[in-house]
Chains A and B, each alone.
Chain A
C-alpha cells in the first residue's frame, strides 16, 4: 500500500524532505509519490509525514484512495459551518 499525491498539490516542497523512504519526487504538474518506495511511514513515524505537513486539503490520498486531509480539516472549520464563520469574521 502507498500514499498518493493528486492534482491540486501546489509543489510547495514541504513533504519531500520529510519522507523517511525518499519516495517523493519533484515533478510537474505536481509532486508525486513512488508507490513502490512509499512505506506509509510504517516503523518510522506514527503519522504519515507527507500528509501531516501538506497544507492543501484533499491532495494526498491514503492506501485506500481516501483523502487524508478532507475539506475543512486543515482550516479546522467544517464546510457546513463556513457561512456562519464568514459572518462572524466579516463583522470584525
Chain B
C-alpha cells in the first residue's frame, strides 16, 4: 500500500511545480527524469519560480575570445550573457574564488556560480578550469555553470566534467553556415584566423559536436540563441528542433540588442533588434518544440544586486582580501536559509492553486458570457516572488498573461532606469516615455509604489498603475486584479486584443 503511494507521487508529472506561471516547471519538464527536474527546480536560470528566490553570480575570469560576433564589441563584456556596455573587472582565479566565497557566505540565496566572460570561458581554459577546481573543493554547495560559443568545447568536455559542473550553456545562433556567415565574420581556429562561410561551418560543427558530447556524459545543456531579425528569425525554429533532438533541455531565445553607441557591427550598421511581438511569437513557435525559458534577464542576474539594493560595495577586492570566511559555518547557515525558502515556496504554490480555482469559477458563474479575454500585466519586483519594487526603480518588468484559466509568465522587459534615486533625473521625462513604450500591450502595471507623474502618464497611455498589492505574491495579485477587471466588465470588450496592442 505504502509503496504504491510513494511510486504514484514520484510519477506525478510536473509534481515539482504546481504553478502555471513556471516557465521551466510543470508539465513542460514532465518528460525529464526526476533527477534533472530536481536540478532545475532550484536553479535561478532555469526555473521561473526559483529565480524569484535564488540568484546566480558571475565572475569575470575569462577575458579572451576566439570568435567575433557581429553583435559584440570586445571593448565590453560578451553580449551573449551580459548587458552590452558594462565592463567587468577581470579577476584572477584566486581572486574570483575569494569573492565567490565571500558573497556566498553573506548572501545565502546565491546558489549558482557562472563563468560567462567577459570573453569566452573556454578560450581561457586554464583560468576557467582553475576557478572551477578550487570552488568544487572549497564550496561544494555551489553549483557551477559555464557559457560558451562552443568553438573550443569538444576538446574540453572531459576537463569540464571533472569539476562540480552542473550545466553548460552554448550560444547557438544557427545550424546553417550561410546564416552563420552573416553573424560571425571570423573565428580563430588551429592558430589561424578563418573568415566567411568556412568559419561558420567550423563553428557550427564544433557546437553540435560539443552538445552531443555533453549530453552523452549526462551534463545539462541549455542553448541560447540571439534573435536577429532578417538574419536568423525563421531559422531559429530549425535550431530549436535540432538542439532538442540532440538532447538540449532548454532553448532560450534572447533579443538582439544593437545600438550605435555600443560600437558593434550591427549597432553601427543599423541592424534592428526584434520587437516584443516578434520575440514572443518566436518563443511561442519554439515552445511547441521544447521547453522555453522566457525569464532570462539577459544580464548578470547578479547575486550582489538580488536583494534590490546594491551590495557590490561590500565585495570589492580590498574588502574581500581582509575577510577570512569560515565556509563550513557559512554552509550550515546557507542550508538553513535554503530550507526556509523551500518551505515558503511550497506555501505560495498551495495558496496560488486556490486562487486559480476561484477564477475558473468566476467564468462558470456566467455561462452566457463569452470567454473573458486574456490580459497582459507587468510587475515590478526585486525578487522573492512578491510585488515589492517602486515603479521608478524597476530595471525590468516581468510580464504575465492572465486568462480565465491561469496566470502565465510570458517574459521580461528591460528598461532604462528613469529615476536613479537622487535628484539628478536629467532626462527622466524621455526615459519614462521609453518605459511606457516598452510596456506596450500591457494593461496593468503592478508595483509597490509609484510617483504621481508616471501614474498620470501611464493612465493616459491606457496602462492602469496598481500599487494596491504591494508585498503580495505576484500570481495571486494578478489573479485578483484580473478578477476585479472581470467584475468591472472590462474583460468582455470585443476586439480586446486590438485595444491591447494599441495601448
State the A residues within 8 Å of B (CB). Answer: 10, 12-14, 16-18, 45-47, 49, 52-53, 55-56, 74-76, 82, 85-86, 89-92
Separation in Å of the B435 CB from the closest CB of chain A? 26
Q: Across the interface, which residues of A come within 8 angstroms of B269, CB to CB?
A: 82, 85-86, 89-90
Q: Across the interface, which residues of A come within 8 angstroms of B229, CB to CB?
A: 92
- Cα A14 to Cα B75 in complex, Å, equals 12
- Cα A12 to Cα B191 in complex, Å, equals 18
Closest B-chain residue to A11, C-beta based? Answer: B63
Binds A, one of B192-200, B437-445, B462-470: B192-200
Closest B-chain residue to A20, C-beta based? Answer: B191
B271:A92 contact, CB within 8 angstroms = yes
A-B contact count (CB 8 A): 73
B65:A47 contact, CB within 8 angstroms = no
Q: Across the interface, which residues of B come within 8 angstroms of A85, CB to CB?
A: 269
- Cα A49 to Cα B189 in complex, Å, equals 11
Find B124's partner among A17, A53, A86, A90 (CB 8 Å cutoff).
A17
- Cα A90 to Cα B266 in complex, Å, equals 10
- Cα A14 to Cα B123 in complex, Å, equals 8
Separation in Å of the B299 CB from the closest CB of chain A? 21
The answer to whether A13 and B63 touch (CB under 8 A), given A49-B191, A76-B185, A92-B230, is yes
Find A13's partner among B90, B231, B270 (CB 8 Å cutoff).
B90
Closest A-chain residue to B182, C-beta based? Answer: A89
Provide the main secondary structure of the chain B interface.
loop
Supply 18 A–B pairs (Cβ within 8 Å), ascending by A: A10-B74, A12-B119, A13-B90, A46-B192, A52-B191, A52-B193, A53-B64, A53-B188, A55-B74, A75-B265, A76-B196, A82-B269, A85-B269, A89-B269, A89-B270, A89-B271, A92-B230, A92-B272
Separation in Å of the A3 CB from the closest CB of chain B? 15
Check B66 for interface membership: any CB of A closer than 8 A: yes
Q: Across the interface, which residues of A come within 8 angstroms of B195, CB to CB?
A: 76
Binary CB contact string for chain B from 97 to 124 against chain A (1 if under 8 A, 0 otherwise): 0000000000000000000000100011
